Amino acid sequence: MPVRPLVSYSIERIEVLGEDGTVDQGLMPSLSPGDIKRLYAHMVLTRQVDERMFKLQRQGRLGTFARVAGQEGAHVGAAFALRATDWLVPAFRETGALLLRGIPIAQLLQFWGGDERGGKFPKELRTLPVAIPVGTHMLHAVGIGWAMKASAEDAAVLTIFGEGATSEGDFSEAMNMAGVFQAPVVFFCQNNQYAISVPFTRQTASPTVAQKALAFGMFGVQVDGNDVFAVYRAVSEALERARTSGEPTLIEALTYRVTDHTTSDDARRYREDEEVAPWRGRDPIERLARYMRANGLLDEAGEAEVLAEADRQVAEAVAAFEALDPPGPEEIFAHVYAEKTAPLLEQEAALRVRLAGGTSGGAGGTSANEPAEGV
């Protein structure tokens, strides 16, 4: 019998907004002038929050965190497509998406300041906490999507991750389950070219992340991640497919991490400035600003006003964060389980006694000079 092809495929790339600020009107998504102004203002706010967080970390007033400068067009554009009834399941480089979702700046500062109370997001925002373990949150997203499908909810899930997460088994498991059970999940990969110091070309032999969708029976597409219009268009369409037919989608937003991986990293050790410079010229905020200036949506006065308002919000948030009462050491027991287990309660009681300078009456008679087991 002759050899015959079983599968053929091609991966589309969506670009709407050029680096010069011009757009392809045939691909331009339905966004009002007000929508575009809000997108711009939110991207500027995200940049200013990121810059202030960096300064706070260097001053010892904030812990290690992952910067997002240069990637605002990707995760802000994606989150802008969500409805209030949808779910957002983020990783750790989605500051703008979390702010757009309604998480207060001060609460994010609280989280990155090492106070776990900052990770308790309001339930009505339908947003899971920051996920530090790489890739694990994608499985949670599929679980949420599957549950919503079972209850016939008219909603979808957007989960965001980096291309480094696609090297984890969790990615394949989540994609496979979403494809098999047709869970209404949009997998949004911010391909910023580096998993810490490992370049994309050393993570996979695939030319794109988007083509990995084929193996799991779902649609995959690549977008220019520094083009907020392309991102919004692709995510909006994917979320609508998810809501109406339960069809999952993999979107690869091709962008670049112009800063270090985190504030404890030094990217100069593994890449040259000559590689970074062109990407700084593709800044998503400036690209959008060029379009807005050309279309009468932004002028110098408006630009200064947006920046001043962002700085005001950031300053107020920093003051509110630093005015918070610090958590007591017993707070470490509050966020392990939804309900504290018996051993956890015993350990907490032992710690309280120890802090008070007494002797624990727990198992083994732990003294004030001996650490309670598991603490």
| Residues involved in catalysis | 257, 261, 270
Contact, 233 vs 226, CB < 8 A?
no
The set of residues, in sequence order, having a beta carbon less than 8 Å from that of 127 and lying 6+ positions away, is 87, 88, 89, 90, 98, 101, 102, 103, 121
Tokens of 147: 């549950």
Spell out a b/e string for 24-49, using b for 16 or more CB atoms within 10 Å of the CB, else e: eeeeebebeeeebbebbbbbbbbbbb
Residues 6+ apart with CB under 8 A from 305: none
Do the beta carbons of residue 50 and residue 310 sit within 8 Å?
no
Residue in the structure block whose two tokens are 């911010």 = 190
Strands (DSSP E) contained in the chain are 12-14, 87-89, 157-162, 185-191, 194-195, 198-199, 219-224, 249-254
- Tokens standing for residue 84: 């209030």
By the 8 A CB rule, do 69 and 45 touch?
A: no
Sheet holding 219-224, edge to edge: 12-14, 219-224, 249-254, 185-191, 157-162, 87-89
Q: Determine contact, residues 224/161, Cβ cutoff 8 Å.
A: no
What tokens does 204 get?
């996979």
Asked if residue 61 lies in contact with residue 70, where contact means CB atoms within 8 angstroms, the answer is no
